[in-house]
Structure 1
Amino acid sequence: MDNFRNRLIHLHHCRGISWKNIYHILKQDPQLTSLSNLFPYLKEHSPGYPECLSDLNSHTIHEQIRQYPSNQIHAITIFDEEYPALLKEIYQPPWVIYAKGDLSLLHSPRKLAVVGSRESTAYGERAIKYLFPKLIEKDYVIVSGLAKGIDALAHRYAIENNGRTIGVIAGGFYHLYPKETAKMAIEMMRTQLVISEYPPDTRPTRWQFPQRNRIISGLTSGTLVIEAKKKSGSLITANYALNEGREVFALPGSIFSIYSLGTNELIQQGAKMVINPEDIFEEFSF
């Protein structure tokens, strides 16, 4: 199994490899008996074939992977016991997640995604300060995306209330983005947990951020949207949660605030309106 794990993790590092590429490769060769057998398939199906071929033969990648344990980086494949059960249920779950910090948080039964606008307001911050003490008291682990605004506030107030929190980043650990939350991310790698579906040396690109949102909602039983404009990444996260049959909660706001247009619309569409922590508790039976 270790050799299989190593080959899957190596394959996952190859430039140009897609989720579907790995899916079809595993169907053809469930044990990945030889990476060199993949060349004909990749030549036909992977647009980045030359880079992918180079990476399959790369001793540098092999050495990077070998050094992950000494850098406290855990590569967890979908076939490993440590892989979170809820995440396996989503559409296209990551083949490999990379984790740094307290792995036990992945298996906490009470996880709540908290997301919102990158331009948070005083109202959003007050709402988090009001809701979080009781959430933390009930052992909820707060999951968010380490973005500016509501995400950063969610992580910070979870920590300040002596709670636990998981950050899900786009890109890899060696290229933290945005710079405004990089210091918090590094601290969370020591005392909380940060995860990514991308190898540590991956630079974040635009399309990875909406993709990352499916992991934020996928790790949790429910998603709470604090503030969101009418078109917002937070609404993408809420839609992922709905599609996976998870609970969606929204904080109501002023009809005159652009930062509440998205949350008010979610409530119109059936998300549960949250005005106190009990509104969240009563939807779950852990």
Structure 2
Amino acid sequence: MKNNFLLRLSMTKGIGAVAKQRIYQFAKRHQWWQFDSLEIRLLAQTTRKNDWNDWSEERLCEIQQTHHYVTIEDSTYPEQLRHVPTPPLVLFYKGELAFLERKMLAVVGARDASQYGYSVLQELMPELIKRNFVIVSGLARGIDSFAHQFAISNQGKTIGIVGTGLDICYPKGSGNLQIEMSKHHLVVSEYPNGTTPAKFHFPMRNRIIAGLSSGVLVIEAKKRSGSLITAQQALDYGKEVFVVPGSILDGRSSGCHQLIQDGAVCVEKAQDIFDCYDLLNKFAKP
């Protein structure tokens, strides 16, 4: 009953993430998992219509039979993700869910990455993999896809967080990579099959990337880019942000330089990342 409630709530349209979290917390506090559409609307504190009543037991059963997923109430749900302000109630996945239990580092950056960004990843990735980081990114064109590909080519593990259903490859250029990762690595979404790309899905996707990872490495990011949204979310969650400086001439790294000026860790070599973690671990010891 509990998992059916969470599955149904996660897929109900007409209710935002904050309201869904409020409804979940109310249900958890009272250990009551049965609501009608009016009660859901009252708890959501909205007059907007929702499709709560459209999710019959038959439709839920179909989702259960065609998807692999974990809910926020399951022991296999990643603990670090529970602590973000609006954690996904349900995570759909394809691949090795156990990767979520390992040490993760997010790598994000420009979609129109330059040869410099490509070369930076080529330089840093072998050392990151040797330190057993699982590389998390968004399967987008550019730095995201390069990060996944270099992790795989260096015999590492990688996790892709997408803003569509897992049966949809977006962008199409990442299709073969997404299929390979769903078989041998891990691809995760908070959206069920059939969910097409929408602009608001991607900032939501970014909060999962930031929430799962112990830190975020930014390579080539302009000001007001999606990568900076991910970096800011990581800072809000108390995570480390690592930034590779770039050229001052082409503007691709203007957001990176702003992050460094704001206090992010400037990365010239992989050891700069490791030193930061080693220092944090030293101070974390009693």
TM-score, normalised by the number of residues in structure 2: 0.90
Q: Describe the superposition over 1:192-237 as per-residue Cα deviations: whole angstroms up to 9, x where unpaired.
A: 0000111222222101111111111111111000111122100000
Report what 1:52 is aligned to: 52
Matches of 1:127 and 1:198, distance apart in 2:
32
- Flag structure 2 segments of 5+ consecutive residues without an equivalent: 282-286
Report what 2:3 is aligned to: 5
Name the SS for the 1:132 alignment partner: helix
Deviation, structure 1 residue 64: 2.3
Matches of 1:81 and 1:183, distance apart in 2:
31
Q: Describe the superposition over 1:90-111 as per-residue Cα deviations: whole angstroms up to 9, x where unpaired.
A: 1211111111101111000x21
What pairs up with 1:12-51 in 2 under 5 angstroms? 12-30=10-28, 31-34=31-34, 37-44=35-42, 45=45, 49=49, 51=51
Q: Does 1:207 align with 2:207?
A: no
Relative to structure 2, which stretch is displaced further, 160-169 or 73-82?
73-82
Report what 1:106 is aligned to: 100
Report what 1:275 is aligned to: 268
Report what 1:86 is aligned to: 80
Matches of 2:140 and 2:184, distance apart in 1:
18
Q: Does 1:154 align with 2:147?
A: yes
Identity %: 42
Name the SS for the 2:110 alignment partner: coil
Report what 2:109 is aligned to: 116
Matches of 1:270 and 1:279, distance apart in 2:
14
Cα RMSD (Å) = 1.7
Matches of 1:33 and 1:125, distance apart in 2:
49
Q: Describe the superposition over 1:107-166 as per-residue Cα deviations: whole angstroms up to 9, x where unpaired.
A: 00x211000000010000000000000110111110000000000000000000000000
User: Do the aligned partners of 1:105 and 1:141 also contact (CA within 8 Å) in 2?
Assistant: yes
TM-score, normalised by the number of residues in structure 1: 0.90
1:253 to 227, 246, 249: 246
Name the SS for the 1:146 alignment partner: coil
Q: Describe the superposition over 1:66-96 as per-residue Cα deviations: whole angstroms up to 9, x where unpaired.
A: 313xxxx421111111111111111211111
User: Do the aligned partners of 1:8 and 1:32 also contact (CA within 8 Å) in 2?
Assistant: no
- Flag structure 1 segments of 5+ consecutive residues without an equivalent: none
